[in-house]
Chains A and B, each alone.
Chain A
Amino acid sequence: MAPSSSKAASPPPAARRGAGAPAAGVALVALAAATLPLVTRDSYYLDVATTILMNLTLTMSFRLQVSTGQINMAHISFMGIGAYASALLVTRVGLSFWATLWIGALVAAALAVPIGSVALRVSGPYYFLITFAFSEVVRLVFNNFLEGWFGGPSGLVGIPKPDRLLGLAFEGKLELYGLMAVLCVGVALAFVRLEYSRFGLTASAIRQADLLAETLGVDVFRYKLTTFVLGSFVAGLAGVFFAHFRQVLHSSDFGLEPMVLLVVFTVIGGTGSVWGPVVGTVLMTIAGELLRELHHYEILVFGAVLILTMLWAPEGLVALPATVRRLLRMRRSKDARAMGVGLAP
């Protein structure tokens, strides 16, 4: 489905120019993740850091889809599908976590093929609504159907932690944090490589003008479906980790509120760059922890920040320096008009 790796290995000049920065960026994330345990081993901080890394894999895969102009309101559902699939395979079938980690993600990706094929038949507002409708179906199924399997309204409990691997026990916070860090850096590497490949350029062309891309010979539907399935695979991966990290699953973990949270993280950081979700997720998760005691205010502040970002800096925080520069330039030369402001012109 994806373009062959030989194409990806020789990106066009425009992509090669910025090839040093992304590698440095991933190295920085990896370094930051590796130094945290040296600074603190407090279980609260490790918990927050693990959550940040898990959210990062979710927002980066969500942005991959936004980068082709899709706001997939069912993204969180594929996380749920991976989570429930793995939890059931471990508790009912007795498979090892290390197998279900990949099986769970593959189940999410496999379901994403038919679902994406239906949803991508429509675009724009219809797409937001159909994916939202699908996410509600998934939530209702987890909550009201097959209660013997999914646990019904009281949730699925008693999910074991990951079993031993290579003599390492994954009982403590530190080991789980390490596992999530490895997963997250791996995902980040893959996405950054993708972003600066032919694939990433095509995705960006689709976002900017999908009709033009289509006339230039890009199979827009296939690209969108590929990003949909790939994004769902990564969401499933995060979901499997979530299931065995929290050890309890509830249908509301995959409802509208966590989904809007993903949108908040991704959009505030900025969807134009692969680094947007990183900035947004880290900043907003920490802000959320600081506001934790005041839950209603947290939601209120996040909602207000989302509105203000979209109205005044729709390209997000990472694009802020460029936005400010453009505004200054505009002030200097009155007739220069801002071009291309917004997520999808």
Chain B
Amino acid sequence: MSIDLLVQALLNGFGLAMVYVLVALGLTLIFSILEIINFAHGEFYMLGGYVTYYVYALFGLNYFATLGLAIVTVGLAGVVAERLIFHDLRGKALNAFIVSLGLLWVMQAGAQLAFGVLDKPVPSAFSGIVRMLGLVISLERLVVTVCAIVLIVGLYLFLRLSRPGRAMRAVAQDADVAALQGVNIEAVSALGFGVGCALAGGAGGLLAPLFAVSPAMGALPVVKAFIIIIVGGMGSLPGAVLGGLLLGGVEGLGTLFMGSAAVNILGFLMVIVVLLVRPRGLVGGA
């Protein structure tokens, strides 16, 4: 096997993994602020896919403008979900988890009723290939990966530099102490949940042209996001990026040796190994 083939396989894995990192970052952000796992996170990704289908594929708006719209719309949906359902469940992991299972069904069935059960194709925004250093990359995948990286960096800067971002980090570290310093916990929770969902919505918009849009499309990315945050460490943003790179690398290399359906099992095996060796995840704190 040539080195080129290996590098190519790794590159393929990393490209998609960056989008799954977006989904995982949203999940882990929500976890760090509200201490809950939102099992319905994939449904917000699905919502982003449908926004893209209706606005970009049907209405014909510019692809990047559509992406922004998907992020904003799904973010608002997240704020509504937090206000209506999750705001009282801070720290009640078990109850919140069960509620999110209910939300998963409501959103999935709602999408089936509203949008129909059939897959809806979204045309590619970019076609052609790019040749770089002897490697061949599809332009579309390149754009998707670059967009995902831009969003990840954007989130990092938002959390580092902006006032609401710093409030989020404060709440994640210690909600009570943050409240004593005058941080509005209610507002931060709503905003954090919204930002987390917005990231999922963006990911849905990015992958909509690659895969078709359907009510069940959220299942795969959310499973990958779970793997990423367990491996990286729950609540850790650098951990999510590291976990995503690891998963992408393992799956990319895995496709050289086994079928694409069988590759899915590698991630789960990774989870089991990590939990045995280091239950807190690679970057997880105490």
Contact = CB atoms under 8 A, between A and B. Distances in A.
A, B bound: yes
24 contacts: A118-B272, A119-B275, A125-B93, A128-B37, A128-B39, A129-B230, A130-B230, A132-B226, A133-B268, A133-B272, A134-B268, A140-B264, A145-B262, A263-B98, A263-B101, A297-B113, A299-B105, A306-B102, A307-B99, A307-B103, A310-B98, A310-B99, A310-B102, A343-B95
A260 B104 contact: yes
Contacts of A130: 230, 271-272, 275
B126 to A, nearest CB: 32
A304 B101 CA distance: 10
Contacts of B227: 133
A343 B89 CA distance: 12
Interface string B208-246: 000000000001000100110110001000000000000
A203 to B, nearest CB: 15
A260 B101 contact: yes
Interface size band for A: 35 or more
Contacts of A343: 94-95, 98
Given A128-B37, A140-B265, A299 B219 contact: no
A267 interface: yes
B37 A306 contact: no
Contacts of B106: 300, 303-304, 307
A297 B113 CA distance: 8
Contacts of A300: 105-106, 109-110, 113
Contacts of A256: 219
A334 B98 CA distance: 30
Interface of A: 69, 71, 118-119, 121-122, 124-126, 128-130, 132-134, 136-137, 140-141, 143-145, 256, 260, 263-264, 267, 296-297, 299-300, 302-307, 310-311, 314, 342-344
The 7 closest A-B CB pairs, nearest first, are A303-B105, A306-B102, A300-B109, A303-B106, A307-B102, A299-B109, A303-B102
Given A260-B104, A307-B103, A124 B93 contact: yes
Interface of B: 31, 35-37, 39, 85, 88, 92-95, 97-99, 101-106, 108-110, 112-113, 219, 223, 226-227, 229-230, 234, 259, 261-262, 264-265, 268-269, 271-272, 275-276, 279
Given A264-B102, A342-B92, A342-B94, 15 more contacts: A121-B276, A126-B279, A128-B39, A129-B229, A130-B271, A133-B272, A300-B109, A300-B113, A303-B101, A306-B102, A307-B85, A307-B99, A307-B106, A311-B99, A344-B92
B275 A136 contact: no
Given A141-B265, A307-B85, A343-B95, A299 B108 contact: yes
Contacts of B275: 118-119, 121-122, 126, 130
Contacts of B262: 140, 144-145
B96 to A, nearest CB: 8
A136 B223 contact: yes
Given A122-B275, A128-B37, A342-B95, A306 B101 contact: yes
Given A129-B37, A130-B271, A306-B102, A140 B261 contact: yes
Contacts of B223: 136
